[in-house]
A and B are shown apart, each in its own frame.
Chain A
């Protein structure tokens, strides 16, 4: 069973360009989470999505950032008009079930995409 896939692994963008980060969850997983790791820091939650729904976007910057998880295909984290401060590692995780029932599930992480803005 393939793990969580993220691509690209490394992405270089100039200031003002758009960045698109893709995440394919593990087979059978319908819940996706995006986290950002700034240099020398821990991971910070950005957004939680189920198929075609954004469940929790409390960690998303209000502007330039958006995420989707369509019925078919990978989840996409999109950053418009990137700035140097967006340089970070972006991690995607997936899980099989929701947690509202307090389910003892794990979030399985992908290898991350390292975004560098020049």
Chain B
């Protein structure tokens, strides 16, 4: 069975600085998708970024980028120029190529200090 592990329960960063959130996963599949979701205090789940396993190029979305290491089964999220509005829970998630359910990690709570 696939599993997703986020080993950092909490992280903090100063405004305008860069922070990296870690995620590792375990799977025997060769094709799959990886996601980072943000959950602010409102609890709304917001998709931050998505990576297809067959793409070697790391995904980027404005200040958010990933470091996808397929052989190491690692998928970290880098937030550049951190803003106060980035403070939230961040969840890493996996979806197999031929399945529909998302498998989530336990989350990392990010605090941003002015």
Which one, A40, A44, A95, A102, contacts B31 given CB within 8 A?
A102
Tell which of B14-22, B40-48, B67-75 binds the partner: B40-48
**Pair A111/B44 contact, Cβ less than 8 Å:** yes
Contacts of A45 in B (CB 8 A): 101-103
Count class of interface residues, chain B: 20 to 34
Contacts of A40 in B (CB 8 A): 106
**Pair B101/A48 contact, Cβ less than 8 Å:** yes
- Residue B25 interfacial (CB < 8 Å): no
Contacts of B107 in A (CB 8 A): 41-42
Contacts of A31 in B (CB 8 A): 100
A106 to B43, CA, bound (A): 18
Which one, B44, B45, B100, B106, contacts A41 given CB within 8 A?
B106
Q: Which positions in B face A, CB cutoff 8 Å?
A: 4, 6, 31, 33, 37, 42-47, 50, 52, 91, 95, 97-107
Known pairs A44-B104, A48-B101 / 10 extra A-B pairs, C-beta < 8 Å: A31-B100, A41-B106, A42-B91, A42-B107, A56-B101, A95-B100, A109-B37, A111-B42, A112-B45, A114-B43
